[in-house]
Amino acid sequence: MVSPLMAILLFFLVLPVGMILIVSFWQATEFSIIPAFSFENYEFLFGSSVTFRVFMNTFKYAVVTWVFTLLIGFTVAYFLAFHVRTQRWQIALFLLCTIPFWTSNIIRMISWIPFLGRNGIANSALMSWGVTDRPLEWLLFSDFAVILAFVHLYTLFMGVPIFNTMMRIDKSLIEAARDAGANGAQILWNVIVPLTKPGIMIGTIFVITLVMGDFITVRFMSGSQSANVGRLISNDIALLAYPSAAATAIVLLCTVLIVIATLLRFVDIRKEL
Amino acid sequence: MQKELELVSVTKRYGDTVAVDAISHHFKPGGYACLLGPSGCGKSSTLRMIAGHESVSDGSVVLGGKDISHLSPAKRGTAMMFQNYALFPHLSVSENVAFSLKMKGVDKAERLAKAGEMLELVDLSALADRLPDQLSGGQQQRVALARALITRPQVLLLDEPLSALDPFLRIRMRGELRKLQRELGISFLHVTHGQDEALALADEIVVMNNAVIEQAGPAREVFNAPRTAFVAQFMGGHNVIALSDGHFAIRADDVRLTMRDAGELQGNITSVEYQGMHVAIAARIAGDQEVVAMVPDTTFFENPQNPGDAVGLTWDQTKLHKLSA
C-alpha cells in the first residue's frame, strides 16, 4: 500500500530526479540525443576549468549573500522579538517586512535596474550630493548588483525562521541572565545566539539552496557578465544539450546536499520542525 | 554581619492599575520569610521589584541601609530563583551554575571549580555534565538554587519555587530549602500562594491581598491571631462568624459539638466528612452562616452525628478572637 502522500512524492520528486539522473548518462550530438550509459558528460564537467570557476563563483554568491542576509535577518528578528513590546506591533511590523513579497521575484529584481543604472536614481543622487563626479559603473551589471538583488530577495527567508525561534525563547532566561550580571552584549552572545542557532540553520539552508539554484537573478543583474551553475544549466538547455545539463544538475544537487549535510552536523534543528 | 532588607512604601503601577500599593515592611535579617497571598495580590510584583526585574514606581527598596531601588539586578546583593527555574537549556549543569562567574570574566578552570563546590552543596555533583532537560524537576530546582547562590547573595528571592513539583517532591524540597537556609544563614524571601507551604517554612509570614500587606508576623502569630477575616480565611482552619458584637475568628478544632440547647450557637449539620485524624462537621447556623468543627475521630465516633441533626456549638471563650475587619 502506497499512501497518497508517498505517491505524490514519488511522482513529483523521485521520478523527475531519477529521470534527470538517467539522462545525465546519455550522449548528445549537435542534432540528436542518444540513450546510452556513458560517463562522457561527467568527464567533461570534471575535466573543465570552467566548471570549477563557475562553481567557485556560485559559492561566492552563496557565502556573501548568506553573510548579509544573516546580519540583516538576525537584526530585524531580534528587534521584533525582543524590543517590540506588544504582540500587535510585532505582527504589524512583521507584515510590513513581507510587503515586498506581494509582487513577483522578477519584478522586484528588474525594478533595481532603473535605480542602479548609469543614469539611474542612485547615480544622479550620488552626483548631486557631490560624492562622485562620474556615474559609478559598478552599481549595475556587476557582482555588487547580483548580491544586492539576492539579499533583497532572500533576507525574509533568513529572518522568518530566526524570528520564529527567538519567539520561543523563554523571556525568563533573559531575566535569569541579567540576574547573573550579564550585560546586553553578553546576553546576546551567551543566551540568544546559541538558542537561535536552529532558526539560523533553517534560514541558512533556505538561502544557500535558493542562491545555489538561481540563474535568472545572476543573468539579469550581472547583464550576462557573470556565471553561476544555474546559468551553465540554462545555457545547455538553450542549446538542447539535455544530457550535459542533467549531469551539471546532478553535480549541483549533490554539492548542495553535501553542504546541507555538513551544516546539519553542527546544529540540531529537529525541535524546530 | 547580616544585612537587613526593608521596603519603604514601595509602589508598582501599571498604567492606571496599582499592583502594589505603598507597602512598607522590615524583614528580619537571616530569616526565612514568606510572601503569601492569592494570585494577583501583588506578591510576585513585590519580589520582582526587590530583585530588580521590575522598576519601582514609588518608594524604595533598602538593603543594609543602602537604597538599591535603581541598581541593576546583579549589583543589589540579591539573587533570584525563577518559578520555572529558567535554566539555560544549551548549557550543562555546571556551566549553568558558573554562568554569573563567566559574565564576570572568571577563567574557565576557576569558575567550574566554584560551580563544583556549589553543586556539592545541593548534592548534585554526579550530574554536573548533564543538560537541564535530562534532569528531573527536583534536580532542576537544585541547579537553579546553586546558580542563584553562587553569586553569594545577601537575600535569596524565590518565586513560587515549589509550584512546578508534584506534591510528594514539594514536601521534600521544602524541607531541603529550610535546611539550606539554616546552613547558609542568609535571608530567604519566598513567594507562595500555599498557606501550608508558608507555615511549614517561614519564620515570618507576610500576607498580602489587593496590593497591600494584610498582616505580617511570625508564622504562629499570623495563624493563631489573624487580624482580618481575609487572613483568617486564607490561612485556613478558621471559622469567621458574625456575632452580635462584631466578627470573630475561631479555629475549627476549637469548636465542639454539644447538646442542642447547651451551646453558644445552634445549628443543623449539613455535612460530615471523615478526614482520618479528624472529622470535619459543617453546620449551618442562624444568619445562613456555616461553621466547621474539627472533631478528633475518637470523640466523634463515641457519639456519631448525621447530616440534618440539630446540634449545639460551643467553645472556650478565650479562643474566640475578634477581627478588625
Does B1 score more than 60 pLDDT? no
B35 phi and psi angles, rounded to 5 deg: -95, 115
Give how far B97 is from chain A: nearest CA, Å.
Answer: 10
CATH architecture assigned to A3-272: Orthogonal Bundle (1.10)
Alpha-carbon gap: A70 to the closest alpha carbon of chain B (Å):
21
Question: What is the rounded distance in angstroms from the CA atom of residue A12 to the CA atom of residue A15?
Answer: 6
How far is A77 from B197, CA to CA, in rounded Å? 42
Judged by CB atoms closer than 8 Å, whether chains meet at B151 and A181 is answered as: yes
Tell me what pLDDT residue B164 has. Answer: 83
Give all strands (DSSP E) within chain B, no chain letters. 5-14, 17-26, 32-36, 58-63, 66-67, 78-81, 155-159, 187-192, 204-209, 212-218, 238-243, 246-251, 256-258, 265-274, 278-285, 289-296, 310-314, 321-322
Hey, of A85, A165, A173, A179, which one would you mutate to test binding to chain B, going by the most B CBs within 10 A of its CB? A179
pLDDT at B163: 87
Residue B305 backbone phi and psi in degrees, to 5: -120, 160
Q: Can you say how many angstroms the Cα of residue A33 is from the centroid of all Cα atoms in its chain? A: 33
Pairing of strands B256-258, B265-274: unpaired
- The pLDDT-based confidence of B244 (bands split at 50, 70, 90) is confident
Chain segment B16-48, per-residue pLDDT in tens? 999 999 999 999 999 999 999 999 899 999 999
Cβ atoms of B279 and B272 closer than 8 Å: yes
Average pLDDT over residues B171-175: 91
Using the Cβ of A176 and the Cβ atoms of chain B, whether some distance falls under 8 Å is answered with yes
Give the one of B74, B87, B148 whose C-beta lies nearest to A181's C-beta.
B74
pLDDT over 70 (residue B273): yes
Residue A257 has pLDDT above 90, yes or no: yes
The predicted model gives A22-32 an average pLDDT of 87
Q: How far is A176 from chain B (nearest CA, A)?
A: 6
Q: What is the pLDDT of residue B260?
A: 81
Assess contact for B172 and B3: CB atoms under 8 A.
Answer: no
A185-204 residues touching B, CB cutoff 8 A:
186, 190-191, 194-195
Express each pLDDT in B283-305 by its tens digit.
998 888 889 999 998 988 888 88
| Whether the predicted pLDDT of B320 surpasses 90 | no
Mean pLDDT in residue range B154-162: 93
Whether residue B88 and residue A173 make contact (CB cut-off 8 A), yes or no, is: yes
B88 near A CB under 8 A? yes
Residue A232 backbone class (left: φ over 0; alpha: ψ -120 to 50; beta: rest): alpha
Residue B80 contacts A, CB cutoff 8 Å: yes
Largest CA distance in chain B: 79
Element (H, E) at A246: helix A242-266
B18: nearest Cα among B58, B47, B53: B58
The pLDDT score that the predictor gives to residue B95 is 95
Q: With bands split at pLDDT 50, 70 and 90, how would you rate the model's confidence at B270?
A: very high
More confident call, A43 vs A29? A43
ipTM of predicted assembly, 2 dp: 0.83
- Asked if pLDDT for residue A272 goes beyond 80, the answer is no
Using DSSP's 3-state secondary structure scheme, residue A268 falls into coil
CB atoms within 10 A of CB B28: 14
Cβ neighbours of B103 in A, within 8 Å: 177, 180-183, 186, 190
Q: Reply yes or no on whether the pLDDT at A254 is more than 80.
A: yes
| Residue A1 clears pLDDT 70, i.e. is over it | no
For residues B189-208, average pLDDT? 94
B98 close to B114: Cβ distance less than 8 angstroms: yes
pLDDT at A273 over 80: no
Helix, coil or strand: residue A259: helix
Nearest CA in chain B to A194: B90
Quick check: A30 contacting B, CB < 8 Å?
no
- State how far the Cα of B102 lies from the Cα of B3, in Å rounded to an integer: 26
Q: Average pLDDT for residues B64-75, to the nearest whole number? A: 91
Per domain, the residue ranges of chain A are 3-272
Q: Report the amino acid identity of residue B14.
A: Y
**In this complex, how many residue pairs, one in chain A and one in chain B, have their CB atoms less than 8 Å apart?**
61
* Average confidence score pLDDT of chain B: 91
- Chain B residues inside the 8 Å CB shell of A179: 51-53, 73-74, 79-80, 148
Look up the pTM and report it: 0.83
Q: What integer pLDDT is reported at residue B265 of this predicted model?
A: 85
State mean pLDDT over B181-198: 93
Among the partner-chain residues A172, A186, A195, the one whose CB lies closest to the CB of B103 is A186
**Burial level of B105, CB count in 10 A (0-12/13-18/19+)?**
exposed
Identify the pLDDT of residue A100. 78
CA closest to B152 among chain A residues: A180
Q: Residue A150 has what pLDDT?
A: 94
| Residue B102, helix vs strand vs coil | helix
d(CA B201, CA B220): 11
**pLDDT exceeds 90 at position A140:** no
Pick the residue from chain B with its C-alpha nearest to A182: B103
Q: Which residues of A touch B151 (CB under 8 A)?
A: 180-181
